[in-house]
Amino acid sequence: MAVAAAKLEAYDLSLTLPGDEGPHRVLNGVNLELPAGTFTDIVGPSGAGKTMLLRVLARLLPAASARLTLDGRPAEDWTPQRWRAEVALLPQIASMRPGTVRENLLLPWTLKIREGERPPDDAVLGEALAGVGLDKVALDRDAARLSVGQAGRIALLRVLLTRPRVLLLDEPDAALDEASSEQVARATVAFVEAGGTAARVRHRASDGLASRRFRLSDGALEEL
């Protein structure tokens, strides 16, 4: 499934948060460009602000100061909801709603931003599940019965099915076993190969899939 390529640019990202010893500067004028069709890894020590960086890129931290553009259009030209539809963030912890696998995959089409859009049918959902090694998971299975690895892959599919142009992944394999982690990585690579742009926060050793790597430390971002 082809993805409309998009370049995400972020300049002067700054974020200060309260801390035990007073205000703490998490991001200090960070600049980051994510060219269309690239796969970027962001690494760094725990607490360095990698998750916060992704949340700023997804416009989920109003307290942050940043200049963001998508394909040259400033963030101010987009509603926050439309921006998040184009620049989608997959959180570290997979969240499953009560209900079936099908209902969880179709959750985005219950939101106002997708009002009037036709949701994918069961054939498309089944093909998506098979693509991440979940062909034996029935669409009518209770989501509460999913393993951690299965839930993580379904959370990723839920985002990918909405066809974002930029995918931000916050340690997508942190809680997954090796098999599930590999399936998530393959799905991400397939998204990039189809034209999408991806940025992934990671603590594990490099798997060699990302074409660019950055390290965030002490509020600054450095390309490796």
- Among 81, 64, 92, 67, which residue's Cα sits nearest to residue 170? 92
Which residue's structure tokens are 């959750």? Answer: 107
- The whole-number pLDDT of residue 207 equals 84
Inter-residue contact 67 to 45 (CB < 8 Å): no
pLDDT score for 74: 95
Mean pLDDT by 10 residues, the chain (224 residues): 84 87 85 96 92 95 92 94 95 91 96 91 96 95 94 95 96 86 92 95 86 94 94
| Strands of the chain, DSSP E | 8-17, 24-34, 39-43, 65-70, 73-74, 87-90, 166-170, 197-201, 212-217, 220-223
Amino acid 21: pLDDT: 74
| Residues β-bridged to residue 65 | 14
Token pair in block for residue 205:
């050793």
Residue ranges covered by each domain of the chain: 8-223
pLDDT score, position 1: 62
Q: What is the pLDDT of residue 190?
A: 94
- Options 3.40.50.300, 3.90.1580.10, 3.90.110.10, 3.30.70.560; which CATH number does 8-223 get? 3.40.50.300
Query: Any residues with CB less than 8 A from the CB of 111 and at least 6 apart, and which?
Result: none
Task: Please give the pLDDT value at position 119.
Answer: 95
**pLDDT at site 124:** 96
| Nearby residues of 103 by Cβ (< 8 Å), 6 or more positions away | 97, 143
The answer to whether residues 184 and 156 touch, using CB atoms and an 8 Å cutoff, is yes
Q: Would you say 34 and 8 are in contact if contact means Cβ atoms under 8 Å apart?
A: yes
Which one-letter amino acid corresponds to residue 123?
A: A
